[in-house]
Amino acid sequence: MTDESERAVRAAMEGELRLLEPEVRASPERVLELLDPEFTEIGASGRRWDVASILTATGDGTVSPESPVNVTEMSGVVLAPGIVHLTYFSEHQGRRVWRSSVWRLTDAGWRMYFHQGTPTG
């Protein structure tokens, strides 16, 4: 992986982890800094989310310092210039989910464009 690719993957990973922080999730402004305006998600429940609906979910307080999201096995790859694909496992409140997200570089920085979660056994 080139230095440029490594920086892109690292930036996407940092953004992904910030979106899981309770302080960031509690702030619609901070969440919006990390989501692409065209963001969509297919959640672990099968529900389709957009920016407006995800703001409601991230601000619900279920992720807190007392109940954090634990992340393991995060990896990333550059699919094309300015496009990074991440995968990882998350565990929260006894639920393990295999996650996949696509980040793209915009004039405002790296933003999550797409996310999907699939429950695992």
- pTM for the full predicted model: 0.91
Residue with tokens 């995800």: 54
Per-position pLDDT tens, the chain of length 121: 799 999 999 999 999 999 999 999 889 999 999 999 999 999 878 899 999 998 888 877 777 778 888 999 999 999 999 999 999 999 988 889 999 999 999 999 999 999 999 999 7
